[in-house]
């Protein structure tokens, strides 16, 4: 066969680019574009070729399928036949058809040439479908057609190509084209034939060049599992997850990996002898190990950024690691089609308005929304036809054939899968909440049980018993006025920082570390620094279980705290992020694992051993040192010099000196490496002696709750006195004015991070009138307060 004839039916990847979509489909055109443009940047892409749409149409013509397919589709459109029967009948026509001889010769010739490139008789390849509309921005649903792995030999490849062509008429693909108004017979299919990467002997996964839940553009999100990549894409495993901060990728000496979460990775797909692939259970070592090293994570992240730059759009990329040579490869890349389409101008928020109680199951939350309904539990595909509109779909995992019922669901809950699984991707596209990777939802949740699925409380999604009340708000981020007063955010969790990144705020005025210590770390710091002195056996067992991979148990605390703070710092970089050092009361510290033996029982913990007085105490210094190590790591090793630290509940200037000395001892010297240290102004002495505190700190942040409590003599948690607890009392306002005047005379700025301005826009107006420099707010009050502040500034 001469080259011209072969080129009609087969094109090598290196001869293709993005302008060849009409001939080889979006997926294969993208592969060609990568090979041409990115191999010179040392991005490895396995060699291969694509069959053309001309080859597909030759198959249709050879087997006289045009009229037969059209007739079957017409019957479906006229409701004379079901979608399932129509799809199966059309696919059977392809199965019975014969590959035209010249097309078969072209494919066989190209396959033999590919084998020659790899010095093999029969090279193992993947055969992947690429439709002329699939993976283009206007056709967002990928995965409608089939892929076949570990195809070896000419006959096996020809059979796989036929199956790929038939998959143009999967039930999902037919339904999608009907919905979008695409003419079925004007859509054609190309088959991408690509050398397999032996990731069955290593690992594989997907990466996105943005945060898939929030759309935050400055990170690369990587999922990884052992074996071939189908398990990650389909959601049959809970993969590792790594997050990398893009702006620091090329900074020398900086570690930009801001998150590493180990997935359970319960199975892996490998080559098999009697069939192309099979799933095996992973070993204990594999389940307990990360798939990628830090160096490999960085390499993939850099490649992701290069690919994104080339295409000038956020990307969805599949990667694989070769277990024989150890090299990483990019095997597919397509535009990300969910977050990249959302406008910057609007946000919709959800919040529960009643106490949900204990959750029934929990998993990864997808979609930042809430939905309620009756459970519809599906344990096998045969039950799909009976699904009820508006139900909460609960199942082990989903696949492309499930999309028609997923569109009708209020929410989706799966046992398996990660943030890049099929269920997660489709739920984002549909705009409905999903909770994936629960591991036990199908065992715990019951048919017809009324539940609420909430993905609005952080990175975890929760299923609660009964239908709960919740509220939604539409936030318009357009035409937000500029203010002279700096508007900042109060943030308690890394997930909230990502969720609210679009808000027009200049930094974080209060980042609390208590959530990370309480919910992520869970262990009292002294139970780590003095583990050999922990007396309670249950506590020792819990600590051993949580810290099993750390030779130095204190590193567990430092690493988890540092990464959580880094995510918050990344969300607002390069703006200032003020991290308050821990401010647990003794009763709260005691509730941490191993905490009771290290904490005194106090009658009034609110006014007891808290804040600054702990940091320099011999009874807690080594615990505070862990917080300091985490801050140093965030600023120096991870590069977030935008982090400022803030000292809470510091009672006197003499105590401030002791705190600053302990910080210095732990490598956090005020002024070195541009480190700023602020103080919480929440005790009247902070204001009455503001000039002395201003000599020791770089700024003040008003804690209005404690300041009101200590000014009015009212316990902030007292139900009986709640009506009297009012930050707008004249005495509180007078103290705030005094602080602003004294601080400004000393050349120090004053902000507020207490709840008062979030709860009362008129209090915010008072602060502006008093000359405050910054106001830090709860996220859901930002827009309302900004407009009131702008109005006040104009007046």
Cα(605)–Cα(448) distance, integer angstroms = 46
First to last CA, the chain: 83
Which has the closest alpha carbon to 238: 363, 329, 141, 359? Answer: 363
Cα(779)–Cα(786) distance, integer angstroms = 11
Residue written as tokens 């277990």? Answer: 323
Strand partners, 333: 317
Axis-axis angle for helices 761-770, 730-745 (nearest 10) = 40
Q: Is 184 noted as a catalytic residue in this protein?
A: no
Axis-axis angle for helices 83-96, 66-77 (nearest 10) = 170
Cα(366)–Cα(499) distance, integer angstroms = 11
> Tokens in use for 684?
């009247």
Q: Is 753 noted as a catalytic residue in this protein?
A: yes
3-state secondary structure 95-149: HHCCCCHHHHHHHHHHHHHHHHHCCCCCCEEEEEEEECCCCCCCCCCCCCCCEEE
Helix (H, G, I), strand (E, B) or coil at 351: strand
Which has the closest alpha carbon to 235: 44, 363, 78? Answer: 363
User: What Å distances lie between residue 553 and 144, 547, 557, CA to CA?
Assistant: 47, 6, 7
Cα(441)–Cα(375) distance, integer angstroms = 11
User: What Å distances lie between residue 167 and 10, 90, 765, CA to CA?
Assistant: 19, 9, 63
Cα(140)–Cα(425) distance, integer angstroms = 11
Q: Which residue among the candidates 164, 422, 524, 628 is catalytic per the annotation?
A: 422
Q: Which residue among the candidates 161, 628, 650, 753 is catalytic per the annotation?
A: 753
User: What Å distances lie between residue 30 and 22, 217, 230, 683, 784, CA to CA?
Assistant: 12, 22, 20, 61, 45
Given a contact cutoff of 8 angstroms between Cβ atoms, the answer to whether 319 and 330 are in contact is: yes
Cα(758)–Cα(735) distance, integer angstroms = 19
Task: Give me the active site residues, please.
Answer: 422, 753
């Amino acid at each position: 066969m001469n080259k011209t004839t072969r080129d009609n039916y087969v094109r090598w990847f290196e001869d293709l680019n993005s302008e060849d979509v009409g001939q080889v489909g979006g997926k294969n055109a993208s592969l060609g574009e990568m090979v041409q443009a990115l191999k010179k940047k040392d991005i490895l892409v396995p060699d291969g070729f694509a069959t053309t749409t001309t080859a597909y149409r030759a198959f249709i013509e050879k087997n006289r399928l045009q009229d037969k397919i059209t007739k079957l589709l017409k019957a479906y459109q006229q409701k004379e036949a079901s979608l399932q029967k129509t799809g199966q009948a059309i696919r059977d026509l392809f199965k019975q058809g014969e590959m035209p001889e010249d097309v078969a010769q072209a494919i066989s010739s190209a396959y033999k040439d590919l084998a020659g490139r790899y010095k093999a008789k029969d090279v193992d390849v993947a055969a992947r479908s690429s439709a002329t509309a699939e993976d283009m921005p206007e056709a967002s649903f990928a995965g409608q057609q089939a892929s076949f792995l570990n195809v070896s030999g000419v006959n096996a490849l020809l059979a796989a190509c036929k199956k790929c062509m038939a998959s143009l008429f999967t039930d999902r693909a037919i339904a999608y084209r009907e919905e979008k108004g695409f003419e079925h017979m004007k859509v054609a299919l190309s088959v991408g034939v690509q050398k397999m990467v032996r990731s069955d002997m290593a690992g594989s996964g997907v990466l996105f060049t943005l945060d898939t839940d929030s759309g935050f553009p400055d990170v690369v999100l990587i999922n990884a599992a052992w074996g071939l990549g189908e398990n990650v894409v389909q959601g049959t495993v809970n993969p590792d997850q790594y997050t990398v901060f893009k702006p620091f990728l090329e900074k020398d000496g900086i570690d930009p990996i801001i998150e590493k979460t180990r997935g359970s990775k319960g199975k892996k797909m490998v080559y098999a002898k009697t069939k192309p692939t099979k799933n095996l259970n992973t070993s204990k070592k594999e389940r307990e190990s990360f798939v990628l090293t830090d160096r490999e994570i960085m390499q993939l992240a850099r490649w992701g950024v290069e690919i994104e730059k080339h295409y000038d759009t956020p990307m969805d990329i599949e990667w694989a690691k070769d277990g024989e040579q150890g090299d990483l490869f990019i095997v597919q890349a397509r535009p990300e089609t969910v977050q990249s389409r959302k406008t910057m101008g609007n946000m919709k928020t959800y919040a529960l308005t009643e106490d949900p109680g204990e959750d029934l199951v929990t998993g990864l939350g997808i979609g930042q929304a809430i939905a309620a309904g009756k459970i519809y539990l599906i344990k096998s595909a045969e039950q799909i036809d009976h699904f009820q509109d508006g139900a909460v779909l609960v199942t082990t995992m989903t696949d492309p054939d499930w999309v028609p019922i997923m569109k009708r669901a209020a929410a989706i809950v799966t046992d398996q899968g990660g943030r890049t699984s099929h269920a997660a991707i489709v739920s984002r596209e549909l705009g409905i909440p999903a909770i994936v990777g629960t591991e036990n939802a199908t065992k715990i949740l019951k048919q017809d049980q009324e539940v609420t699925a909430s993905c609005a409380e952080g990175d975890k999604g929760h299923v609660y018993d009964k239908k709960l009340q919740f509220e939604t708000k539409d936030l318009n981020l357009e035409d937000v006025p500029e203010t002279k007063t700096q508007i900042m955010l109060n943030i308690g969790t890394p997930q909230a920082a990502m969720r609210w990144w679009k808000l027009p705020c200049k930094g974080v005025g209060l980042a609390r570390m208590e959530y990370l210590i309480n919910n992520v770390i869970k262990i009292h710091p002294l139970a780590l620094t003095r583990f050999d002195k922990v007396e309670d056996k249950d506590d020792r067992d819990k600590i051993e279980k949580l810290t099993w991979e750390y030779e130095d148990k204190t590193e567990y605390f430092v690493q988890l705290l540092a990464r959580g703070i880094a995510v918050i710092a990344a969300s607002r970089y390069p703006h200032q992020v003020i991290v308050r050092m821990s401010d647990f009361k003794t009763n709260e510290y005691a509730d941490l694992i191993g905490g009771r033996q290290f904490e005194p029982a106090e009658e009034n913990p609110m006014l007891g051993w808290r804040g600054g007085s702990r940091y320099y105490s011999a009874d807690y210094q080594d615990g505070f040192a862990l917080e300091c190590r985490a801050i140093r790591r965030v600023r120096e090793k991870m590069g977030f010099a935008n982090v400022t630290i803030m000292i809470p509940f510091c009672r006197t200037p003499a105590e401030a000196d002791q705190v600053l000395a302990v910080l210095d001892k732990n490598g956090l010297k005020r002024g070195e490496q541009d480190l700023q240290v602020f103080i919480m102004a929440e005790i009247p002495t902070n204001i009455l002696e503001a000039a002395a505190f201003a000599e020791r700190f770089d700024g003040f942040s008003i804690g209005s709750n404690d300041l009101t409590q200590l000014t009015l003599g009212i316990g902030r948690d007292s139900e009986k006195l709640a009506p009297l607890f009012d930050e707008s009392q004249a005495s509180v306002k007078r103290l705030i004015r005094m602080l602003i005047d004294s601080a400004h005379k000393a050349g120090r700025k004053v902000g507020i991070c207490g709840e008062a301005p979030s709860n009362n826009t008129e209090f915010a107006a008072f602060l502006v009138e008093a000359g405050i420099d910054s106001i830090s707010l709860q996220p859901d009050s930002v827009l309302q307060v900004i407009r009131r502040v702008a109005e006040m500034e104009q007046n």
